[in-house]
Each structure stands twice: as C-alpha cells, then as structure tokens.
Chain A
C-alpha cells in the first residue's frame, strides 16, 4: 500500500507489516475502512486491490416489492451493509435482487446448498436478464454476478476475493460458524447484505455477523406476514404410543443414563450439563454404558414403531398433495423410506440424484419425500403444503426452518404441519422447547 507509512500514529490496527512484500497487509474485509480512512485523510493512493466493476443490468424494470421488502431495502440502503431477518417464503431472494440493482456492483451470492445455487441462477436470469456464473458442485465459472456455495467460498474464496463489490450471504447464520467466518474476511466487497429466516444461533455466534456483514437492520416474523404474504398454516401435534416392549426398554435405558448423571451430580438441565455428562461418560466403562443408554432411549422415542403407522395414515389423508417428512437422524429416515417405499434425500444422496428426486417431487411424480436435515432450509419447494415432523432436535431454528418449507404463498394454499411425538417420553419436552417461537404461539 503506497504511502501507508505516512499514516503515522493513525495507522489502523488491522494493518500489519509484511517483510516479504515490503508492504502493510490486512484482511480483505478491511478494504472498505482502509479506503475510507485514506480518502478522508486526503492521502493520495493507488488502489490495485479492487478487481470489480460497475454492474450493467440489461433487464427491464425492477419487480414491485412487497411492503416488508421495500422497508428492508430502505433500512439496508443507509449503510449498504447489514443483515435482514425474514421468514422463509417471504421473498428473501427478491430482496437480494433489489440490493444488487441498488448497489450496481459486480455481485457474489453465497448460499448453503447446490440446490440454492441453481435456484438463485434461475431468478437472476429472470429478474436481471444476466447469465450468472456458478461455483460449486464441479462448476467454477466467475461472472459479474456469481452464485457460490459456502463450502466452495471457504475453499476458493481467496481466488476471487477482489472480484465483487457486493456480497449477499443467503441464510447468513451459516457464515458465523467457525470456519465459514473466514469467507467474509477474504472478500473485499464493501457492500454486504446478509439474509436469514432464523438468525439466532444456539452458540451465540450470530453476534459475529455485525462485524462480518453489518448490523441487523430489519426483521419481520412469520405471524406478521402469515395470510397476506405467506400461506396460512395450522400446526397439529399427534401422539404415538410405545409398544409394551419398547416402553420397558425405554424406561430401563433412561434410568441407566439418568442414574449415572445424578450420581455425578449432573442435573441434565442445561447445555453445560450435557458437556459435563459427556466428559464424565468418557472416563470409564460405566460412563460409556450410560452414554449408550442415553442414545438408546432417544432412538426408541424418535423412531417408535407406531410412528411409522401414524406417518402412513397422514400420507393416506394427504394423497394428491406434496408432503415432506422430516426425521432427526438418517437411520430413521432410511427406515421410513424402506418401509413405505418413499424417495429420500440425506447428506449421502449424490447431487445428481438429489436433483432428480426434487424434480419428481416438484412435478408430482413422487409426491412424498423423506429427509433428515438436509432440506431443513434453503430449498424452494413451493408446492409442498404438508410437513410431517417425525422427530427433531430442541432447536427452535430447525423447527422454524422446517415450517418455512411449506409456507410459500400459493393460491388457496393452507399449509399443515404435523408433529408426531412419542407419548410419555422426553420427546414431549423437546417439542416444548423447540416451539418457543412466535410462529407456534
């Protein structure tokens, strides 16, 4: 950086001297404050970091935003950095398009899945009249507007960190993870927009987004948009009973696990307690047995035999509709698929097969689809109107994202979410915890 030495005592702390290139260095994320400081200080400098240009948009008039989208855009426009929290199906992608039109800079969109890469590419072509580049799943094509997965941005971000003036982080709560935070650091983009349906992370790291993307500038919850901009919805809780042998096995496993925990003075009432339990369990054979017992009682509650029958009855009731079936773990998902001969998508499903399954789900050839967690967020399945949650964690985010899969507005659509719980098991309290959200009140 030319003349940085002249900054003297005002040298920003994020700069460090690199003897090898005989210049000051900083992370790409500091490009904007650095340029601002040099400009405001009246320094003459040569900017050879910037590798992006003004974006020419050939497409016609911008789409008319809904009121909540217009308000979110206005809030973001003030600093052209910030995070917006909007429910799934409320038009987050369109907000990203409006931000690209507003910023008029080469833009990178970072998304969690390959399905979303394809989905964003279609919308960009339709709304902006440009052919976007794509990075991920074997593609590596950089264009003025490019869509990239978080995984690819993590691996290759340093190769194109200078190429974009705007970055849109879709489902930006992923960015706050330990590894992915690096993506934001290696991009110079001065303009940044983060969008998410469920910003808050249980580990609290969502607070990092302020530094990586910008402050939370706008937020709207599901109940505020339900009916007018999102499909109306109902939530039903159904119960399945353990069989006598399952009940006995459940009681036995649960008391083995809890007796050990209590014996260690662990109440099992907080996240800290869980860590203490794991630590205690790792120190001997008795502990290992207690840990096994914990998994056994959880497995019995999550995949009680009666749940498969309840699931079949629900599918029977909703024949002719598109139904998504969610489980907490892959083993249960594959068990549902085997018993009911239903297509399935898990993290083990290859991209090509995943596309085929989703395509057949969309066109109604395979109207029922089983998944564990990979479809929790991001994938647009507008035709899905029914979700069956056979099992899940206590995570509010996961539960809201699963509800979000069926909320995209369609003419006459009334979405239904079923939560199937095994009666008299810990699953009932897990359900209460994950329902601590406006959407379920």
Chain B
C-alpha cells in the first residue's frame, strides 16, 4: 500500500485523476527491473544498504515519486530478518557497561585508547571474535536486517501494482463508493458479493434490469467506528473489483490530503489496471472451507458444503448463501448465509428477503452484539459472539429443524 505522501494525482473541477504509469513503457520497465535487482540475492543486503543503493539510482523520465512508490511496494513484499553471531543487544549492553567504567576512570581526549581492549573483553565473554562482536553490535536494528525473501514481482507486475496502489491509497480517504457492475453472470455476481463480505464492507446492493448490479459501499469517512482498519479493507477490496469483466464503473467521493473537500474518483476497466488477486471464479474463503471441515469432523447427521450461485428474488433482489446443509435421512436441505456484524436494518432487510424463499429453508449465522438479539428474536438467526463454531451451530440447527 502506498502512503499518502507517495500518491500522485491531478485535481480538476471537483474530480481527482490518479497518476497512472504505462506498464509497457521501456523506461519504466528498465527502472522497475533495476529496482527489483536491488533485492536480487538472498540472503542479501541489509534494509539500510538497499535503501542507500536505491537513493543513488536515477532514471531519466521517471519521476522521483514514482521511483519511491515502486521501492515502497518492493519493500512491502520483501521479508527481512536478523543474522548475527551472538545476541546483538547483549553485546552492545556489555560494551556500554565496560566503556562506562573506562569513561569514568580514564576518560578520553580524542578517540578512546581503551576501545580495542573493551571490544576484545566483551567479545571474549560472548564467545566471539572482536570483529564478530563489532559487526553484531547493531545487527538487530531494522535498517541492519538482511533480506531473507525477495519480492516476487516481474517489472511489469510491479508497474501494474503501482497503478492499483495509487487508487487504493485514494480509497483510504473515501466517504462513499458506488460500483455499477453491468449485467454480470450469476457466478461473477456471487464472486463480487463474497469479496464484499470477505472484506467486511458495509454495502447495499441492488440489480436493475437495464443497468445490472449497483453496489453502494460506505467509505472509511462514513463509518461509525474503526475507520482506519475499515479503510484498509476497502482498499484491499479494489483489486478484487478488477477481476470483474467489463463493463463496470466505480465512483468514489474521496477527501484528499491536499484538502479542498470531497473529490470524485472515477475508475473504469483499463489496460493499465490489473488485479494481482488470483481469479478463482466461485472462490471459497479458507474460513468457509474450515467450517465445512469442522462440520464433517463432528460426525453428525448433517452434511455441509459451500453453497453455489445466487438466489434471485422478486424486484431484482437476491440472496447469497454461504453453506448448503443436508440431512440425508430426513431429506432436509437448508441454506445458510453467514453475516458479519450487520446493522439491525441490514439484518431486518435480509430476514425479509429470506422469508420470500419458500424452499429450501434459508437461515442465518450472524456475528453480532447482544444488542442485536431484538432484531434476531424469533427469526431463523444463529447469533454468536466471536467465532462461528460448527458444534454450536449444528446443535442449534438440530433444534430449529426438529
């Protein structure tokens, strides 16, 4: 993710136009390649050495901010760790202890003559050579940590990532986002709705015959709590949106760091923007797969599997179930939708939709606060506090299905 100081954009008449770079530009590809090379050997240079080497690189035709942004994306993707003989903190504290005594007793009117003796003594105590001790003295500092895993970008991927990171950075200051999705297949519809749920976004969606899907998403400036984390969730949703086939449009009202109130950001499918998320079609989150596994491990009469498709209802409304539960002996089938802390209004809305489903029965598993009990009362809602556990859910299912 790019920080606000690395965002490049132009403002005009209430709109904001993020800077995009051409992922096929030879100059940019060469710059990206040489930045990637800084991370080439593993275990390689220290973070500080890479930063220093990067500050010495200059590319004609590549703005400094673009260079710094590309470097930030590479650092975000790399892994660093400490490699030192001995414990750096113990070594330096030993040196400070011994030197403090020398300063007190002998002093120094220039470079301390006792420095080598102190270094030798502390190194011997730690079972190291003086050179090892000196090298390890600050080896645990972030700037001294060595590269353990290089960022796995090709130059082209890095340039594409820069373009989406510019938009992600702007979304951190969004008040409202509207996505007009066009007419999408039920599989794609389900995919995007699951992404919205996976990132815990507050949204309302509707389809209309002519325009297709329209999703209104609250931005971090509009939510009532945890707005920073929520902003990151919204930013992380954006690459998922890029998986959608065209045509679609995203309009966001964003507040810019440079001030001037809200500006409109318009994003449409563009060859300069490509998702780095894998396109798995009807993707099932790990947590959902884990829940299905848990149900299987219970050995109960209920069998669970990830649900498929979307239930289309009247007035272009729909439901997106997460799980399909079967009870072969009783020949019962139940669809279950998993909701994460919906507002009482959203829960009521979903319950009203579910009542329209005649068969199979449509139930909800809902993480929420005790305050939601009222909204959930008497309805087919399994309310839980922290984690959705298979055993508790199946017990509840057994009761409501008897």
What residues make up the interface of A, taking CB atoms closer than 8 Å to B?
20, 154-155, 158-159, 178, 278, 281-285, 287-289, 292, 295, 308-309, 312-313, 315-316, 319-320, 330, 334, 337-343, 348, 353, 356, 365-368
- Give the chain B neighbours of A178 by CB distance below 8 A: 4, 257
Task: Jot down 25 A-B pairs with beta carbons below 8 A, ordered by A.
Answer: A20-B343, A154-B228, A158-B226, A159-B226, A178-B257, A282-B63, A282-B65, A284-B58, A285-B58, A292-B55, A295-B55, A312-B109, A312-B110, A312-B111, A315-B108, A316-B109, A334-B138, A337-B138, A341-B95, A341-B118, A343-B92, A348-B141, A366-B97, A367-B100, A368-B100
Mark interface residues in B76-104 (1 if CB within 8 Å of A CB, else 0).
00000000000001001101111110011
User: Is B316 engaged at the interface, CB distance under 8 Å to the other chain?
Assistant: no
A316-B109, A341-B115 known; 7 other A-B pairs, CB under 8 Å? Answer: A158-B225, A284-B60, A285-B60, A309-B111, A312-B108, A341-B99, A342-B96
- Contact status B103-A319, CB under 8 Å: yes
A312 vs B103: C-alpha distance when bound (angstroms): 10
Partner of A312, one of B65, B112, B143: B112
Within 8 A of A (CB), among B210-238: 218, 224-228
Q: For B223, give the chain A residue with the smallest CB separation.
A: A158
- Contact status B64-A348, CB under 8 Å: no
A366 vs B104: C-alpha distance when bound (angstroms): 10
Q: How far is the CB of B195 from chain A (nearest CB, A)?
A: 22
Q: How far is the CB of B135 from chain A (nearest CB, A)?
A: 11
A356 vs B4: C-alpha distance when bound (angstroms): 35
- Give the chain B neighbours of A281 by CB distance below 8 A: 64
Residue pairs across A and B with CB atoms within 8 Å: the count is 88
- Give the chain A neighbours of B245 by CB distance below 8 A: none
- Contact status A282-B64, CB under 8 Å: yes
Within 8 A of A (CB), among B56-80: 56, 58, 60, 63-65
- Give the chain B neighbours of A155 by CB distance below 8 A: 228
User: Is B107 engaged at the interface, CB distance under 8 Å to the other chain?
Assistant: yes
Known: A282-B63, A316-B107. A340 touches B99 (CB 8 A): yes
Mark interface residues in B115-131 (1 if CB within 8 Å of A CB, else 0).
10011000000000000
- Contact status B141-A288, CB under 8 Å: no
A337 vs B134: C-alpha distance when bound (angstroms): 12
User: Is B320 engaged at the interface, CB distance under 8 Å to the other chain?
Assistant: no
A367 vs B104: C-alpha distance when bound (angstroms): 9
- Give the chain A neighbours of B89 by CB distance below 8 A: 353
- Give the chain A neighbours of B99 by CB distance below 8 A: 340-342
A247 vs B303: C-alpha distance when bound (angstroms): 81
Partner of A348, one of B93, B104, B142, B257: B142
A301 vs B109: C-alpha distance when bound (angstroms): 22
Partner of B100, one of A282, A288, A295, A365: A365
User: Is B265 engaged at the interface, CB distance under 8 Å to the other chain?
Assistant: no
Q: How far is the CB of B145 from chain A (nearest CB, A)?
A: 10
Known: A158-B226, A353-B89. A340 touches B64 (CB 8 A): no
A281 vs B58: C-alpha distance when bound (angstroms): 10
- Contact status A348-B143, CB under 8 Å: yes
A284 vs B59: C-alpha distance when bound (angstroms): 7
- Contact status A340-B138, CB under 8 Å: no
- Give the chain A neighbours of B402 by CB distance below 8 A: none
User: Is B345 engaged at the interface, CB distance under 8 Å to the other chain?
Assistant: yes
- Give the chain B neighbours of A315 by CB distance below 8 A: 103, 107-108
A231 vs B261: C-alpha distance when bound (angstroms): 48
- Contact status B58-A289, CB under 8 Å: yes
- Contact status B225-A341, CB under 8 Å: no
- Give the chain B neighbours of A368 by CB distance below 8 A: 100, 103
- Contact status A313-B110, CB under 8 Å: yes
- Contact status B107-A278, CB under 8 Å: no
